[in-house]
Each structure stands twice: as structure tokens, then as C-alpha cells.
Structure 1
Amino acid sequence: MGPQDPRETAGYRLLARIGEGGMGTVYLSHTRGGQAVALKLIRQEFGDDPEFRRRFEQEVQAARRVQGYHLVPVVDHDTSGPLPWLASVYVPGVPLQDALETFGPLPLPAVFQLVGCTAQALAAIHAAGVVHRDLKPGNILLGPAGPCVIDFGIARAADATQLTRSGGLIGTPQFMSPEHALGDSVGPATDVFSLGLIAALAATGRHPYGSGGAITIAAQIANTSHRPPQLGDYPDALRPLLERCLTADPQDRITPAELAQMCEQAAGRSLRDFGDWLPPALTAEISRREQASRQPPPTTDQGTTATGPSWGATVPPGTGPAAPPAPSGAWTPAPPGIAPRTDTTAPPAPTQPAGPARGFPRALLMAGAAITLVIAVTATWFISRPDDEGTDTSAGPGTTAGADSASASPKESGSGGQEESAAPAAETTYTEVFAGKPLTIRAPAYGTGTHVDLDAPKLFPNGRIGEIEDLEMTYQDWSNDDLQFLTPMGRSAGTDPQQCRDGADTDTLPSSILSEDLKDGGIISKGTVLCTVTAEGNLAMLEITDVLPNSVKGDLANELPDFVTKLTLWKIDE
């Protein structure tokens, strides 16, 4: 955090600057329930444009509708304040761009799994009516649960601003589709073309359109119909995928669902199987970041975040803590020509390379950063290096603006001591407070709302907006009829506390679910298990045992259902 950085936005305490790009700066923060988030604060020049604010609101609302695997969801946003902002779930991991720069190209099976999972994410994005428009290595995060696609759809918000009308550029030129490079309208197929370019680069370090500057490559992409890329030098197993993705006509491109199926067959394993799917050195780096993310950075007596080697500060060689030893069978290091990291916590070079290092065009990855106006929100705790100026290293893409945003603001939290990156993480334990307590959340009548305190537990019917603090949910029929989560709520795959915590952290629902999505069979149906870290820092699990039509009659009637649940609460001991 520099002296120019704010320390607080809309009740969110900003702990560290973790990324910066064309549209804004990304900061590490926490919800009041303790969930780490990446908060993107939009630049003043965009915030001053009313048309940008209007479209930004539309795009964030669209992004919140996206549901699926390998996506980083938005948990909060506001377009009404001095500067627009959005907060996304923070996922500790390594951006694909950083992984390629540091370690070189991926093994071919890993490329197929990466592309297949990304294709599944694109299918979910497109199903919600959203087009990513800026898919690139900086917008794919290699996390503990596989790859995640971030920052989807937000690029479109800047299209109609005065900046772009006067000649600005939205998107990263060397990863554009032909129609995007030509300025034509874009659809879901444009993301498939970008993914094909990423697949080629990830597997070999070579861009299908050469190693020139970003604008030169974009011009060649625009000319694809007359001069298609030469794919003869790519591996035989990869070439059919590239041919299906990199066609000039969008209608001839493979669909994301077909691409995912093709990749699963080529990988020879389930796309959900992430055991040893990456080389050991990269896996170790992901694990190190996951471990570091369990403890917030320390603060000084003045309340500002202290920086140090454990939290990604760039230090001169030899002055930081010793790097951990290379794991057995460590992967080939980045080849010559790639600038090494200057932080000493990066994975060390292995002593026994698996084979000759292949050249990787770092300049190709970074050339578009200076002109792209879209930040890649990649989840990592590390402050951006000087050569990452155009790429964010935070995480992904809420309550509504105004009063609802204020009610979702996080609590101020204390800081722990500085973490040694090599120390083992303390095991989290869960102490049961109560189990299976019946709790029926009845639909509110028109013009009313019901606040829900899961810690008590207690319901507050006929409540007003922002009337009660330390809540987890508000079921309301005010301006919208929806169920709002004031602490991030996720779906759990089971009913033990660790599964519950994992669901709360990795399968987060939108912070507002409208009535049409609340009917039985919708997003929340009978049998759904919901979990959240509560406002008081406990772990709460709601098992939906039934979804019933509400009993509200007459002029106050609405279509919101009643939820019959069983509530279990654990105290979190970390």
C-alpha cells in the first residue's frame, strides 16, 4: 500500500494492493464474515462517465447470474459512490501468465485439462448471456481446485465511454478474435478463438500468429480469412483442437461444450481430477500461496498493512528468507530470455531439468498490457511486480448499491503476526454449537422484509433496510423481491464442517437471488445445503428440507417461497 492508496472503501478495510490494470486497482480485503475478497476500485476517468456507470451496473448484474465450475464469482459491488467498485472471491493461486513466464510451457496433458476446464467455464458464462471479451493468460488462474476464469463480461462496460469513443481500445490485441480485431460485433465464439490462441501458447510458448508486437499480431489475426495461421509445427495431438478453434468464421468454431469433451478425451482423465495435473514446482507454488492466504498480512501500529517478503514485496536478491528446497522431480525452469522473478519466494530452479528448455516469448505476453484497458483480476496475495503494470494479480468477478452495500460491509478485523512461508499451516477445527435446529424462513409480504441472524438463531420479520447489524440474510420484497446474502453463501457437497467450509469458500452464490430463481427446482431447491461464515465468525449450515408456496394472500401476495430448513452452527478454531 502506497501513500496514495485508500485505506477503506464502503466499509471494506483495504489491506494490500494486489493488482493494477487499465480499468483500476485491485486491493485485498475481507467481508465482515472473514472471507478474503479482491476489491477492484475503478479509475476516476471511468467513474466520471455516467454511461460507464450505467453499463458497469448492467455487466456486474449479468456476471452475478453466472453459475458453474471454474469461475470466480462477484460477491459485492457499488456503482453509486465516488468511484464504482466490485468485490470478487479471493482465490489463492498463480495466474497462467505468471506460470508460463516462470516455468515455461505446460505439459500437453495439462494443457488439455486447462483448456477443457476453461471451456466449461465459458459454457456457463455464455449460458448467462455474457461474453468474456478479454480471455487471455492473465485472466485464467491456476488455483488449488483447478483453473478459474476471472473478470468475465466487465470489459463491455467500457465500450461506450468517451475514452473508447475517442479511440481507446478494449481487449488484449494478441488474444482477440478476427471479428473483435476488425471492430465487428462479438459473440460467444470470440472467446473460443481466444482460448485456441491460449492453448497454442501454453503448450509450446509460440503464438500461432508469430512473435511480433501486439498490434502487428492483431492485424494478422484480423486477416485470418485470407491468411490462416500455420499450425504444422504444433504437436499432432493438439492440432485438431487448434484447427477447430482458430477458424475465421465464428459459425465454424467448435462450441465450448464440444471443446470440453474433446479435451477430456485427449487428456485421458476426468476434467475434475486435479491430482498431480501440474508439474511439481508449479503445484508447490500454488500450495505456498494457499497456505499464505490463510493468514492476513500484519499491520503496523498506525493500522496500515506492513509489507515484507512473506507478502510478495519485491526484495533485492539475497536479502529475503531462504526459498524452500525444490521438490523431487521439479519441473524445467523458465528458459533463457524470460526475466526471472526478483522475489525470493518464487519456486527455485530444479537441479535436474527434464529436458532442454524451450524459448518462451515473454514479450508476447506482456506487450498488450500497456494498451489493454481491462484488468485481469487474478487471485494472488502478491503485490504486482513493476513488469506486471498492466495485469492484475487479484481474483475474479454482490449486494446491490446504496443501503444494501452498506449492510454488507465487513467488520474491522485484527491482524496476525507475519507468516513464514515455509511453516505448516495450523489445522482448522470446528466445535459444534448446535445441530439440526429447525428454522423456517417464511416469505415476506409485499413491502416488507425478514432479517435472518444465523448465530442466534433468530428471525426479524417486517424489518427495515439496514435496521439490524450482524446478519447473514435478508428475505425482502421492497424494490426487488429477492433473497439477499449479507455474508458470502455457498453450496456444500456434504454436511460435515470441512465440506461446509469448502462450499462457502469455493461455490459462492450471487449475493442476490431473484424470485424467479428461488422456486423449487431453481438455484435453491429441496436438498440444497448452504453454508456461510457468519457475521460473528462462526460456520453456519442450512439444509433445505422443503420449499413451499407461501401463504401470503391478497394485495400483499408475491411469488416468494417459504424455506423449511435445519440449521447447524460450528465455532471456528483456527
Structure 2
Amino acid sequence: MEPLRSSDPSRIAGHRLLGRLGAGGMGVVYLARSPVGPLVALKVLQAEYAEEEGFKERFRREVAVARRITSRWAVPVVDADADARAPWLATAFVPGPSLAEAVTAYGPLTGRGLRLLGGRLALALSEVHRAGLVHRDLKPGNVLLAHDGPRLIDFGIARAPEDTVLTATGLVVGTPGYLSPEQALGQGEGTVGPPSDLFSLGCVLAFAATGRPPFGSGPVDALLYRAVHDSPDLDGVPASVLEVVRRCLEKDPERRPVAEDVVRELAEDGAEEGGDAPGWLPEAVTRLIAERSTAALGLPDVDNTQVAVAEDPAGRPEGTAGESAAAAPDGVAGGTAPDGDGSAGAGEDTAKDTADDAAGRGPGRRRLLLAGGAVVLAAGGGTGLWALTRGEDRRPGATSSGRASYTLAAQGDLSGEHRETGRAQERGLRLAVEEFNARTGRPYDLRAEVVDDKGDPATAARLAKELTADASVLAVVGPSTDATAEAALPAYDAALLPVVAVSPGAITLANGGFRSFLHARLPDTLMPFYLAPYLRGPGRSRTIGIINDRAGDAYAWEISSTISRLLQKDRYPSVPKVVGLLRADFGPAVDAMVAGGADSVVYAGPHDRAALIARTLRERDFTGARVSGPALLDPRFLSAAREAAEGWVIAAPVVDASVKPEARTFATAYGRRYGQAPPRWAAEAYDVSGMLLKALSTLPKGRRTREDLLAAVRAATYRGITKAFAFQPNAASLVIDGTGVFLWRVERGRFVYAGPAPLA
């Protein structure tokens, strides 16, 4: 539970709010004490949704649906009000983790635990189906764990099969990765019935048994495609539930069992009986449930939370979390506290602090932190807070030379798994800044600031917030990886701070709708457009084998699915194969591929697993072309595959600046500065730094702002030493002009640059 924020109400319709259980785009879920005593989970929807046509009717339907389900294994509705200004719904509070949280933190369930989980969820589904409804969104996050069994929650999109409100043709409802094929196809009225929930139950049991969804993870379209066409990855599912899971995951709805069949088949060990079920969960999860139950007992009861709070006629409380908005310190209640969430450090609070505050046992650390934030603001103003949070004042201003000063920052992995990439980009930026500062008569000075996120997404998100708080930073080069970029981009976007990525390759980054993000390389999903021409030409392939390694997640999907579609469109023979996440033996897939006539192979997966298939191909004396994408351009592939790596060809959006003629001057300068040839990604970082500096030079003195710099970069074309940079209008992606992808070949145990990749 997170502490309440200063903007949160203290009471809703007599329910005393104690903390936040979660939040999303639609609203917030609070932990609350009901007027009669029990704890409830109070789901409050944003008021603006209530103004939408038909919204209140849909919300009433959700409440009515949930109230029709009385199974012990489904969480009951306690109260609701669809007519409040901010509609709300209260359900019984279960002081246990979700299945998703428990498995992620503590590992898969045991055989007996799986049987009990499946049996009791099937009992809940049987009642849902007897009521003439379909849940539609059974997933690990909608299953709460208690000492005696699971609880099914969230009937927000449960409907009768004939209900067309949410089942119009083409509309996909539910959570990708746990959707049935009929949901994934969005076929519409009458196609999504009880068998759909049984498919989702199979997905949930597979996740509980292995810690991963049976159709992997990644982009939505990949998950939908796999649900319809691919076999599930059931490696590691215990034999005690394997057959039930396999039957639930049949593509044909008519071949799946009904809920009552699952109850009977998993009835061993009392799976369908009530009462406690000691030992059904890992000890750590049982202990967590006990700790949360104990903490819940210590929360304020109904007697010591009776605080008078005025409410408006629509039922919207005027009070805030423990104090009125009018009484909050200036600059805090309005959301200007240091950590940016209106709580001046409330993210560090504990449930006990909030409980103590609400029960009147003391001011509580949260209120003290609020007061502390007000003192900082009052004592030092903006400058005092700046110095406190950043260590020095780095706002744009004049240097000792009298010139204005601005900062370009690099965020990357400088000490983790991808440190070579991060350090190369850092040095590329530093060299560009040093060369600019060496110019005589320059209109302003530049400063390079570099931060190390260690390849950790949480650290990346924190550092992004720190860089956005530094008003002198006009743009950021980085981060180094897909995961860190995904974590950092929301903070950069909120501040409209331009961020230019040169090494992350996920197409989802460019499609994420981030306003200030510029993807300065072609994404991984476009690499097959360069691999296919190579295979048809220099590779001399007549039938192309495609290995989609599930261990490569979204990256593997992007490459394998794109080249499959390209070849199908051109009616070029191909033999696609899928390798499960846990399978370390590539022999069966290679043998099946060769038996299908493949004389070349495209591998879509990570570098460490590429070594396994490389050795397998060598053992089979496979002499055809072997190609892959950027993930293989990693020294660890060479060291793991050894002689089996020889001859592999890689398409990647990165050059060897030491041999590319246009980069000769850069390579010489880099060698003088750092005493070595420029590594991969250094020239790309140098290029985008030059692109940012050129755009900045076009801006008049009064308009050198983040927003103006972003607009200038988007509007211009920059000819760099690696390629031309021009961005699509109102998009993060580069204009595709046939350049920007290069071939690399493994020769004598090293990567050798082979020049631009063909596109036709």
C-alpha cells in the first residue's frame, strides 16, 4: 500500500481512506474502512469519465454483473455509487498478493498448489458461466491469493455472450497474452463464450507453473498472433496439470473442457473443497499474506476514524488526506513538492505512518515531510530548492566568458552489461562538445553531463527525472538499451526534453507516442528488409529457414515475423520454426528446418542462445548462409560460439568508423583523444550530437529552449558521417531512404564491417 497523496480525499461516502492500492488511467483503488467496519478496496473512477455518454450505464452494468457472482472464490461487491461525481465501487479487501506479484517475486507454484489454484478458479468460473456471463479478462493480476485459496476479481468487462456493447467486430477486449484466439481475432457477437475463459485459465496455470506466459511477451500484435497461430510454450509445466492446461489451450473452443470438467480433474487434494489449504503456497507467499493480514489488523478501526468531513451534493468529499486543501502549505498541495507528486517525499512513507497520522497517534512522517517541503520552498525559493536537489545551480546563464552556457547530456549504461555501448556513446558526445568549445567566436559554451544508469530501468527512470529538473540541459543522447529507454521516456516526455536514442531498437519506443523522443536508427523490425535481399543474392538461398527463439522476446518476434511476412508476400519458400524459452537443444528445430528444404537460416534471438544454434549447425555440417540481427553483434557471441561463429552475417544500424571513408576525420580525432579506434556506436552518438548542435545554432538567443530545439531538429535534415538524419513529420522515426543499415561478417573470430546492406 502506498500513502495517500495530498490531493486524495480523506473520505468517500462514509468510507475512510487509508492508503492507495493502485492507480491507472481510469482512476485509483484505495484501501478504505467501510462505515460498518470491514476493510474494502474502493475503486474510484475519474470524474471526467462520468460525463461520457453511456458511461454510467456501463458502470451500473459492471456493478450488477459483479453482484450476480456469489462464489466463495470470487471477491464480492460491498457497495457502489454510479451517480457520484466520481463513480466508485467497493469490494471486500483481500490482504494477499496477486498471483502475478507472488510468482514474479517468489517463483512458480508447486504441483499441489497448481491443482488447487486451477480447481478453485474453475469453481468461480463455473458460477460465472451459470449466471450466463463470461469474465473475459482472467489473468494473473486478476487473481488474489489468500490462505485458503485464490480469489477472482475485476468483472469490469464481464458480459453475456450476446452483449454487443463491447464485442463489436474488430474490437479486442481483454489482456493480450491471456486472450483466447477468438478474442484475439475480435470476431464479434457470439464468438466469445465460456470456452474463452477456459483458454485464459490455461494461460494463467501455465504462468503459475513456469513464471512466464505460454505465448511469451512483447508487442500486442505479436501476442495476438501467437494466441491464434503458435503452439503454447509449456516447458516446465508439471505433469499433474499438464494435460488440463494443454486441453484448455486448444485453438478450437469446442475442444476445450468446461469449468466443471476442470474442477473434477483437479479435485485431488481437496481442490474443490472449502476450508483452509495449508501448504498450497510457497512459504514466502504464506508469510507475506500473514504479514499483510497482521498489518491490516493494525489499521485504524471505525471508531477512531470518525472525522467530520463536509461533502458536496454530488458526494465528492472536500477534505484531503488528513488535512484540508486550504490548510495545506503553499506550494505543496498544488503538486510542487520536491518529488513531483504533491507529497514532498511521500513515496518513502509506510502504511504505519499513514495509520498513525489518521488515528491521531502523532503527526506522522508524511505530514512532517509536507511541512519540510514548505520550509525549503519558503526559505530559499526556487534557487534554494534547486541547490538542495541538484547540488549546484545549473540553470542556463552566462559563464565567466560572458557567453551563455547550455548542457547536452548522455544517459547510458557505463558500468553494467552494456557498458561498451554506453561508454562509446558518452565519448562520442564528449568529443562533439569539446570540438564545439574549441571554436573561436562561438556564440555560447557547451557542457557535457553524463549519468550512468547501470542498465537498470529503475535507475534510468530516476536519472531521467533528475536531468529534466536541470534547466540547463537542452537535450539527452541515450539511453543505451530498450528497457532503460522505456523506463526513462515518460519523464523526458513530461518535461518535453528532447531525447535522441542511437542504440535501442524496439519499434514500440517509436510507436509509444512520446512527443520529445527521436529514434535516430532504424528499428529492429526493419532489419529483415535488408536480410532478405542478402539471402536471395549473395546468400544464394532458395528456401529460407527461420528460427524464432522465444528467449528473444519482442526482439525475436519483430525479426522473425517481419521476414516471414516479406517472404510470404513474395511467395518465396520458407520454413519457420519456434524454439521454446527453456529449450537449450536446437537440434530438433534445425533438423525439422533442414528436412523442410531450408538451405539458409535466419536466427531471431539473443547472442547467448545464438551460440547454441551456431554450434548445432556446425555439428550438422550446415554450409548455407546464416544471418541474424543486431543482437549478435556482441563479443560474447564470438567467445561462446568460437569456430561455429565463422561466416555468420549480421545486419545492424551501426558502422565501423575506422574504415568508413566519411568517418576518417572523426576516427582520427577519436584516436587522438582516447588512444584507440572508435568502437561501435561512438560515431552514431557523435553524429546526433552534431545534429543537435546544428539545430541549436539556428535558434536566436531568446529561443534556445527545449521545445524550440526539438522543433528545429524535426524540421531539418542533417548529413552525418554515418548517414543522413531526417525525421518523419509528427513522428519519432527516421525517414526510410534505403540507408542506415550495414552488414557485418564474422571472419577469423572477429566482426568485420562489410559496408551498406542492400535493400532491393
More helix by share: 2
